[in-house]
Amino acid sequence: MAYMKDSTGRRLDSIAVPAATEVLPKWKASTTYAANDLALSPTGDVIAAKAGFTSGTVFDSSKWRTIVPADPFRYDSTRLVQWRAAVAQVATRPARLVVVGDSIWEGYGASAAAKRDIEILRDRLRQRLQPAGVAGGEGYVPAFYVSTTMPQRLSGTTGVLTQRTDLAGLGQRVGIIGVGGSIRTMTFTGTGLDIYYTQGSPAGTFTYAIDGGAATSVNSNNATLKGGLIAQVRGLSAGSHTLTLTATTGGNGMYFEGVEVYNGDEAAGIHVLDGSHSGWQSDDFATGGTTAPGLWYDSLNASAPDLVLISLGVNDWRSGSQTRLTSAQTKSNLQTLIANIRSKVTSAPSIGLMIPYSVADPGSTPEAWPNYRKAIHDVAQADGKCALIDLDAVAAGGFVGTTDPYALNYGTDYIHPNDKLHAMLGTAVANVLLSA
């Protein structure tokens, strides 16, 4: 969440990111509050007490400062319906969330995977919603991370891994494990796996094994190109294990998308899956790549989300590697993306649009950044079913030119979040969903 400022605009350092064990309480009547105490207002704003006082029987907004405004749509009963229904049944079936974003949500700038915003979001949701006795796995691990600050999880022992960003997979990340005995391993903590892969005429046969045990063979060669096929591993003892993938015969090898790691939560609990891709623009997801347009939607469908959160637009505005897009293009692409998600996912999920926080203007941008903010807002408002979360409020307005008044920047690029801002983003989005 954003830091509070006094009437002169100075930062009040006593307002900080909530600890991992804290859940913001809702405002209560006849309760004594100290200056800077945090709460959720009756309408869902994150608020801080201006001074010490005892609340009356009716909420008095004059006693409070708004730190993070509520999502203006989340109390509309027509929004987030699927997500709310899943959360209500979380003790007997999983509530599944996929984040579709760029480098900010793939984890760029976090000092460790556990400190990136998507994992903070997962942990905060589990803190409130996870059924008793259900530990919870780490979620989706892609074949590779595009973000250069994220450590790769797949290790090579033999052969090559070819990274492809134009095919299937959550976040359009596929690693081709080359034919002829190429081997890749991954260590994980959990009780089960879903191994995501792509079938098609270029693909061949691969095997998977756990902890050096018997290998199971899978033939992924098929005339029909399809993403999001899953090989399940279940019944592992809780603890550390090693997955070994081997491309054996035929075609170009195994088209490996990633794995979802479970830890006692195969049938219940909160699942948060990483579907982001550093550098991607809204059209990359909307159209879905050049080699096999739309193939990644197969993988999204296989992940069976109850909620898809979308955070795109920064690279539309200021990409350094692709043609920059206008705000009208961003709006059109987001509308296409939303329509495709609803038509291609068997059980249509709830959708939330996140407005990214402001970042530094590199110059030569097509338009001013506020035009893109408005485009995203207008998509949600016109759609009638999307929730909207404004991350600018979370980041205290983002970076001011090439300055970082709140020490939120990774390095000096004035784009990517450090650990502090990752925690603020994950916490604030969780608070929105917890009060949905």
Q: What's the CA gap between 339 and 48, in Å, rounded?
A: 39
Q: What's the CA gap between 204 and 182, in Å, rounded?
A: 12
Choice between 243 and 20, residue whose per-residue pLDDT is larger:
243
Report the mean per-residue pLDDT for the chain. Answer: 89
Q: Could you give the C-alpha distances from 38 to 58, 122, 289, in angstroms and in order?
A: 17, 21, 44
Token pair for residue 230? 């899953």
8: confidence class by pLDDT, cuts 50, 70, 90? very low
168: confidence class by pLDDT, cuts 50, 70, 90? very high
| Cα torsion through 117, 123, 125, 128, rounded to 10 | -150
Whole-number pLDDT of residue 290: 75
Query: Which has the closest alpha carbon to 286: 253, 323, 312?
Result: 312
Whole-number pLDDT of residue 170: 98
Domain ranges for the chain: 1-70, 71-134+268-436, 136-267
- Helix 296-303 to helix 327-344 angle (10° resolution) is 50
The pLDDT of 78-91, averaged and rounded, is 92
The pLDDT of 409-419, averaged and rounded, is 89
| Contact residues for 3 (Cβ-Cβ < 8 A; gap 6+) | 11, 12, 13, 15, 16, 396, 406
Choice between 75 and 275, residue whose per-residue pLDDT is larger:
275
| Cα torsion through 249, 253, 258, 259, rounded to 10 | 0
- Judging by DSSP bridges, how do beta strands 139-142 and 226-233 pair with one another? unpaired
Give the chain's length. 436
Q: Is the pLDDT of residue 143 over 90?
A: yes
The pLDDT of 327-342, averaged and rounded, is 98
Topology alike, domains 1-70 and 136-267 = no
Task: Please tell us whether the domain made up of 136-267 is placed in CATH 2.60.120.260.
Answer: yes
The pLDDT of 49-63, averaged and rounded, is 95
pLDDT per position as a tens digit, 94-116: 999 999 999 999 999 999 999 99
Neighbours of 142 (CB within 10 A): 28
- Strands of the sheet containing 387-390, edge to edge, are 269-274, 94-101, 307-311, 350-355, 387-390
Q: Could you give the C-alpha distances from 151 to 155, 241, 360, in angstroms and in order?
A: 11, 18, 26
Residues 2-6: contacts with CB under 8 Å, at least 24 apart = 2/67, 2/68, 2/393, 2/394, 2/395, 2/396, 2/397, 2/406, 2/424, 3/396, 3/406, 4/36, 4/48, 4/65, 4/67
Q: Is the pLDDT of residue 183 over 60?
A: yes
21: confidence class by pLDDT, cuts 50, 70, 90? very low
Give the three-state DSSP class for 385.
coil
**Structural contact between residues 372 and 316, judged by C-beta atoms closer than 8 angstroms:** yes
Neighbours of 428 (CB within 10 A): 26
Whole-number pLDDT of residue 398: 67
364: confidence class by pLDDT, cuts 50, 70, 90? confident
pTM of the model: 0.84
Task: Please tell us whether the domain made up of 1-70 is placed in CATH 2.10.10.
Answer: yes
Q: Is the pLDDT of residue 148 over 80?
A: yes
DSSP letter at 115 equals G
The pLDDT of 75-104, averaged and rounded, is 91
Choice between 31 and 3, residue whose per-residue pLDDT is larger:
31
Whole-number pLDDT of residue 252: 85
CATH homologous superfamily for the domain 71-134+268-436: SGNH hydrolase (3.40.50.1110)
Q: Is the pLDDT of residue 13 over 80?
A: no
Q: Is the pLDDT of residue 263 over 70?
A: yes
Give the three-state DSSP class for 303.
helix
Whole-number pLDDT of residue 66: 79
Per cent of the chain over pLDDT 70 is: 90
Q: Is the pLDDT of residue 265 over 70?
A: yes
Q: Is the pLDDT of residue 38 over 80?
A: no
18: confidence class by pLDDT, cuts 50, 70, 90? very low
The pLDDT of 112-122, averaged and rounded, is 97
Whole-number pLDDT of residue 14: 28
- The Cβ-side half-sphere exposure at 51, using a 13 Å CA radius, reads 1
pLDDT per position as a tens digit, 291-334: 888 999 999 999 999 999 999 999 999 998 889 999 999 999 99
Give the three-state DSSP class for 376.
helix
Q: If you count DSSP H runs as helices and E runs as strands, how many of each does the chain have, helices first?
A: 10, 21
pLDDT per position as a tens digit, 187-245: 999 999 999 999 999 899 999 999 999 999 999 999 999 999 999 999 999 999 999 99
**Structural contact between residues 316 and 281, judged by C-beta atoms closer than 8 angstroms:** yes
251: confidence class by pLDDT, cuts 50, 70, 90? confident
**Structural contact between residues 295 and 247, judged by C-beta atoms closer than 8 angstroms:** no
